[in-house]
Structure 1
Amino acid sequence: MNIGSVFRANAAIVALMAFALQANSEQSADQQVLMGTNEASAYSAESVSKGQQGALVYVDCIFNRLPYRLKMQFQPWRRVQQEVRKGAVAGFFTAMPSPVFDQFARLSNPLVLEKWYWFSRTGTSSVADLKNIRTGAILGSHQQQWLEFNGVTDYLAAQDLPQLIKLLMAGRINVILADFNHFQQAAASLELSPDVYQSQFFRYVPLGVYFGHHFLEQNPRFFKQFNQQIPRCVPKGFALSKQEKSLIYDRLSKVVNHWLGHQLLQERLLWHKKQEPLSKAEIHSRDHTWRKAFAEGDFEPMLAMQDSKLAGFVSLWQNQEAYITELIITNRQGVNVAVAPYTSDYWQGDETKHIKGMALNVGQWWFDDVVYDQSTRRFQSQLSLPIDIDDERLGVITIGIDIEKALEGLEF
């Protein structure tokens, strides 16, 4: 090869390398991403109890797994949003879903899940119409944003939650909208007796990171990469409090006991008892068939593996109760007897919901953690309890519930 050919070959290689570097510029480990937050928004309900800056820890963990360098700047909340709108800052956190923010930024999957309650003095009226009562909010808080988004302007602002609670106890405001754990901690710091205030569930709120459209246009793969790392850095959900479990039990137990005592359900489970046990090989074969059918959206094989009489029974039950999102009835081996809607697998025997359900005493319920379903934007949990007929355990029923609907209107 002559010198000219070598030169041209080397030039081609250099050009190719330059093109590759340009194509992967957004993957450069040296790329710095400037994020904004204010001190109040960087604290989650769960992390405050542990003495950690939760959202900051989560975001830092995620960026450590990405080919980007995180740089933080603390600014007043409105200033941060303006900087993102202009493209001077990549994003801000933590933030709740907002149609205002959606105009110039995109919200990530949740990093923090908060429980919002209305708090008032014991013996006062519950929240009915915010325009006819006086409420308070912490400056720069998500609650303040929610009030303003919903047209509530006549509120009293305070620097922190203990100050807001003092205003409540003094009668200067009627109610406070706050995260449940935050309020409990603030009330304890004031040595406030639980007897002097009451609470009413309002809603759960997912908080995430808003990334500006300017930044995402320049880094089109970033958003997906960020969301993919969230499960590795952020707790999946949170446990219901003892009081919440008790209230859900009180609301659901009468309905659940009614359906479990239904003659059709008992007759079919007794019939399935006679078909047991299935071999492990048969269970795995059916599970494989079910999973394949579910992935392909082919309902016929799944319907054939269910109890046809019970399938209609559980569908009717699930449709009649607004807070029930799914029903799964399994036999002692943990295989599906009847489900609504279809589950992703046939065998539940190795899953916590079945194992816990089989081990419970009669009358006990097991509650799984509350998780946020990004696709449906609902906060859901599963509860399991054993099914006993004539003092013999024949299976487990697992009930998926929309936690917000289940707790709606209940006072604590």
Structure 2
Amino acid sequence: MMTCAATTSALANEFESQILDILNSQVKGWLSDPAIVDAIKAQNADHASLGDADIDALDQKWRAEAKAGGGEMINGVLGKDISKFLTGKKEGSNGVFSEIFVMDNKGMNVGQSDVTSDYMQGDEGKWQKTYQAGPDAVFVDEVEFDDSSQTFQSQVSTTIVDPADGKPIGAITLGINVENL
């Protein structure tokens, strides 16, 4: 069990190898599952023509619904098969995964185990340092206290590729509860 006195940078260094082991041993195998790949490809096609103003409007709608405790947009995403798949992976992790969400080629949520505070992740390292960095990119963020789960967690993100051609189609972020490692 960690103490609150530890520093964020020390925590990130302390758990990074364990986090990468989890990514490689438990997660990489299901990133090519059709539940994930097909959902990302479908959303990429649906959102191909969206511009920045459209994306901003979707993000604002999501944020308003998240603040209100839910709504049509959030329920639509949580009701997708990919969200059910991710929720099952979270529930089967014995508390190691505190959240899981998948992003499309623009950085918008495709599916998730839990409601995120925003819909657009494309302005954050979790998407920029993975999807934009190429097919093998992995980004382990610092350990931070997560208010919603009341735990210390680190997010690990990686690019998701189309198994047919190896090209990036999106990214995934997993919140790792470091207290359960």
Shift in Å, 1:342: 0.2
Number of paired residues? Answer: 176
d(CA) in 2 for partners of 1:373 and 1:206? 12
For the structure 1 residues 375 and 397, does the alpha-carbon distance in structure 2 shift closer, same or farther, using more than 3 Å as the test? closer
TM-score under structure 2 length normalisation: 0.86
1:206 to 2:4 alignment: yes
Q: Quick check: 2:41–2:169 contact (8 Å CA) kept in 1?
A: yes
For the structure 1 residues 405 and 305, does the alpha-carbon distance in structure 2 shift closer, same or farther, using more than 3 Å as the test? closer
Q: Quick check: 2:135–2:167 contact (8 Å CA) kept in 1?
A: no
State the structure with bigger RCO (CA 8 A, min sep 6), 1 or 2: 2
Match of 1:304 among 76, 79, 100: 76
Equivalent position of 1:286 in the other structure = 58
- The residue correspondences of 1:196-275 to structure 2 (distance < 5 A) are 203-207=1-5, 237-239=8-10, 240-241=12-13, 244-275=15-46
For the structure 1 residues 316 and 270, does the alpha-carbon distance in structure 2 shift closer, same or farther, using more than 3 Å as the test? same
Match of 1:335 among 94, 97, 108: 108
Shift in Å, 1:205: 0.5
Equivalent position of 1:398 in the other structure = 173
Shift in Å, 1:387: 0.5
Shift in Å, 1:302: 0.9
Letter in 2 for 1:353: K
For the structure 1 residues 377 and 311, does the alpha-carbon distance in structure 2 shift closer, same or farther, using more than 3 Å as the test? closer
Equivalent position of 1:41 in the other structure = none
1:256 partner SS: helix
Shift in Å, 1:403: 0.9
Shift in Å, 1:253: 1.4
Structure 2: stretches of 5+ with no match in the other structure: none
Letter in 1 for 2:129: K
- The residue correspondences of 1:5-404 to structure 2 (distance < 5 A) are 203-207=1-5, 237-239=8-10, 240-241=12-13, 244-275=15-46, 276-305=48-77, 308-321=80-93, 322-373=95-146, 376-389=149-162, 390-404=165-179
Instruction: Note the aligned Cα RMSD (angstroms).
Output: 2.2
For the structure 1 residues 376 and 327, does the alpha-carbon distance in structure 2 shift closer, same or farther, using more than 3 Å as the test? closer
1:344 partner SS: coil
For the structure 1 residues 376 and 396, does the alpha-carbon distance in structure 2 shift closer, same or farther, using more than 3 Å as the test? closer
Is the radius of gyration larger for structure 1 or structure 2?
1
Q: Quick check: 2:160–2:169 contact (8 Å CA) kept in 1?
A: yes
2:156 partner SS: strand
d(CA) in 2 for partners of 1:352 and 1:290? 20
TM-score under structure 1 length normalisation: 0.40
For the structure 1 residues 259 and 294, does the alpha-carbon distance in structure 2 shift closer, same or farther, using more than 3 Å as the test? same
Letter in 2 for 1:354: W
d(CA) in 1 for partners of 2:149 and 2:31? 28
d(CA) in 1 for partners of 2:149 and 2:120? 25
For the structure 1 residues 285 and 375, does the alpha-carbon distance in structure 2 shift closer, same or farther, using more than 3 Å as the test? closer
Shift in Å, 1:320: 1.1
Q: Quick check: 1:364–1:385 contact (8 Å CA) kept in 2?
A: yes
1:19-61 CA distance string (max 9 Å, x none): xxxxxxxxxxxxxxxxxxxxxxxxxxxxxxxxxxxxxxxxxxx
Shift in Å, 1:378: 1.5
Letter in 2 for 1:205: T
Shift in Å, 1:393: 0.8
2:54 partner SS: helix
d(CA) in 2 for partners of 1:247 and 1:376? 20
Shift in Å, 1:290: 0.8
Shift in Å, 1:263: 1.9
Letter in 2 for 1:392: K
d(CA) in 2 for partners of 1:344 and 1:205? 26
Q: Quick check: 1:238–1:371 contact (8 Å CA) kept in 2?
A: no
d(CA) in 2 for partners of 1:399 and 1:375? 15
Equivalent position of 1:23 in the other structure = none
Shift in Å, 1:269: 1.8
| Identical amino acids, percent of aligned pairs | 27
